Structure 1
Amino acid sequence: MIVYFKNTLTRKNLMALTGLFLSFFLIIHLLGNLQLLLPEEQARLQYNWYSNFLSTNILVEIIAYVLYGCILAHTIDAIYLRIKSKKANGPRLQYNRRSRASTWYSRNMMFLGIIIFLFLVIHFKDFWYAYKYGGQLPFDENGYKDLYSLVVTAFGELWYVLLYSLAFLALGFHLLHGVFSAHRSLGVYHSFYSRLIKILSLVFAIVITLGYLIIPITIYCKS
């Protein structure tokens, strides 16, 4: 098993590992964002304290840089493997039966990834950059930057809620195939574990997608 793993430590393995790390981050980020659903004043104070803690804690800052590196590595590896796959496959055949053996989202992981990446660029600009370098955010009564108001204002716009929803639906399908295939890339081929991981991947994708979607939709309905 050790020899097998060493011999297959490739870009595909790296993409699997970065993908699983990003999946773990999604859980942590969701737990923090669920604070937005608390009663307004409690949500404002608690979410702003939480945001300040994340931006000032040195350990969290180090993890954040690992996160940024994983996002870039995952994206670059995906592009590399896509190009390599296209070169290996050569010209497309006129009649392609792959759709009978695979799901549409597994065949369109690159397209789903592009939607997610473009959303991340917008999301980082609107929230992370505005919080860290914008310099125009007001402060709450505890003296923390009022990121809560910025988020609620954004989710009060229908176009942003629709954009957010589209991105997380794309993410859900991306996770549905990605989490399962990541374990296959890392060498989990046993029939029992494969079935179990497939079920867990489905549950994980649904919970993460619905968990993130409920936040902007609830805030928009309240506004």
Structure 2
Amino acid sequence: MLTTLSRKMIMALTGAFLCLFLTIHFLGNLQLFMAPENARIQFNAYSHFLSNNPLIKLVSYVLYLSIIVHLIDSILITIKNKKAGTTYQQDRRKRASKWYSRNMGILGTIILIFLVIHFKNFWYVYKFGHAPLDSNGQKDLYEIVVTTFQEWWYVVIYVISMIALCYHLIHGIYSAARTFGLYHPKYVRWVKYIGITFSVVVCTGFALMPIYIFFTS
């Protein structure tokens, strides 16, 4: 039977791996800001490489497992805390913690809904759907992305989800650092600054991608 500390450690480790994946995914998707024709060639070649590389496929399975474990672990920790009565009084929590740290469940639910929609529109279509082909005979994921991002409602959902993800990451990175044992005020402060910078840069960049394509395609 895992203790609460063990579960927090697992959640911190899976969260760290998800942040690493998020960084790589972000850097790869920056190609969407290129000129359309160059973006199509580069982005499709990048997608083709990822989908056909055995090592990347293995990493993708770790990714799926990490998402599931991270989700289940967070639910179990929340249930255990409620049963143990470890919640704060409402007025004390407002003074002791930020609003997003008190609403990680809501933020996580928004992110989960977004992931389901995101996987359906991109991953499922690319892997199992009838994806169009580009001039090189490769699956044209760029065309799928552009077509999807021309829907204003999806752009709105995407931006809202990135805002939720940003706050989720800010609290998650800070909390993970404490779980890993970084309690010294000096180090915790730097972790907080780095976490905020990372969260804002990555999530803002992701949010700008559908906005850019919506107004330029």
TM-score bin, normalised by smaller chain: over 0.9
Equivalence for 2:125: 130
- Residue of 207, 213, 216 corresponding to 1:213: 207
> Which residue of the partner structure matches residue 28 of structure 1?
24
Q: Distance in 2 between matches of 1:91 and 1:106?
A: 12
Fraction of identical pairs, as percent: 53
Task: Say yes or no: does 1:186 pair with 2:180.
Answer: yes
1:155 aligns with: 149
Q: Distance in 1 between matches of 2:88 and 2:164?
A: 26
- Distance in 1, Cα, partners of 2:87 & 2:157: 35
1:92-103 equivalent positions in 2, closer than 5 A: 96-103=91-98
Match of 2:78 among 76, 82, 94: 82
Q: Is the 8 A contact 2:81 2:87 kept in 1?
A: no
- One-letter code aligned to 1:190: H
Q: Secondary structure at the match of 2:134?
A: coil
Work out whether residues 4 and 77 of structure 2, in 8 Å CA contact, stay in contact via their aligned partners in 1. no
For 2:190, the aligned partner's letter is L
Equivalent residues in 2 for 1:28-177 (5 A)?
A: 28-89=24-85, 96-134=91-129, 136-177=130-171
Structure 2 contact 169–195 (Cα < 8 Å) conserved: yes
Look up the SS of the partner of 2:182 in the other structure. Answer: coil
Letter in 1 for 2:214: Y
2: CA distance between counterparts of 1:150 and 1:28?
20
Counterpart-to-counterpart distance in 2, 1:15 and 1:162:
29
> Please, what is the CA RMSD of the aligned residues?
1.6
Give 1:207 shift.
Answer: 0.5
Structure 2 CA distance, aligned partners of 1:137 and 1:155?
A: 16
Question: Which residue of 193, 200, 212 corresponds with 1:199?
Answer: 193
TM-score, scaled to structure 2: 0.95
Unaligned segments of structure 1, at least 5 residues? 1-6
Partners in 1 of 2:135 and 2:47 — Cα distance? 15
Q: Distance in 2 between matches of 1:92 and 1:187?
A: 23
Correspondence 1:13 to 2:9: yes
SS at match of 2:74: helix
Moved over 4 A (4+): 90-93
Distance 2:179 2:88 in 1: 25
Provide the rounded CA distance (Å) in 2 between the counterparts of 1:23 and 1:124: 18
CA positional deviation for 1:96: 3.5
Letter in 1 for 2:163: L
Three-state SS of the structure 2 residue aligned to 1:97 is helix
CA distance in structure 2 between the aligned counterparts of 1:176 and 1:138, rounded to whole angstroms: 38
CA deviation map 1:148-171 (0-9, x unaligned): 001001111110000000111000
String of CA shifts for 1:20-73, please: whole Å, max 9, x gaps: 110111110001111111111110111111111111000000000000010000
Distance in structure 1 (CA, Å) of the matches to 2:57 and 2:138: 18
What's the secondary structure of 1:112's corresponding residue?
helix
For residues 177 and 23 of structure 1, what CA distance do their matches in structure 2 show?
Answer: 13
